Chains A and B, each alone.
Chain A
């Protein structure tokens, strides 16, 4: 697609439920990133996928968080047993693996509210 697509744009869930957030990167971009932006905060790195390499999961805040990327394209971020502190905007970005001066292209994010 022309840009990074994230769905849903908004998600309200009850505490304790599982949620799945989807990211569809730009076609041909081999690198994909998930970030979390809490209210009034900067962007917190969660996980990074690059081609077929093992993902960098160093930013995942707990074992309730997991992500996968199927076929080197679409990625799903799963949060199990959601807590109120998980409420945030979850941003996905993609980039070309080869040299580029165009930085990362971000999606519009999924606003997650845990009630």
Chain B
């Protein structure tokens, strides 16, 4: 069975601080996909990134970066120089091979960036 754990329920940081959101996953599949989604106060989930299990390269996109480590089954998300607009709930998710099957979501981490 698949499982995604986001141990941090809520995090508060002051604007311009860096923050890392943790994600640990469990799966028996050798091929799987990992995702991060952002859910701002408006409620609509916004896709941020999709990684497959064969690609452990870290990825950077602007102020966002992701650290995928199969050895620890983790897929952590770092926001550098946080901004108030980053305030949202962030979900880590996992799906089976192909990524078109059901996606298992973590319970989310609520990030509050204080000006």
Contact = CB atoms under 8 A, between A and B. Distances in A.
Given A42-B105, A43-B91, A43-B105, 15 more contacts: A35-B105, A42-B6, A42-B91, A42-B106, A44-B105, A56-B102, A91-B45, A102-B47, A103-B37, A103-B47, A103-B49, A106-B44, A106-B46, A108-B44, A109-B43
Given A101-B50, A103-B35, A103-B50, A45 B102 contact: yes
Interface of B: 4, 6, 35, 37, 42-47, 49-50, 91, 93, 100-108
A115 interface: no
Interface of A: 31, 33, 35, 41-45, 48, 50, 56, 58-59, 89, 91, 93, 95, 97, 101-109
B44 A107 contact: yes
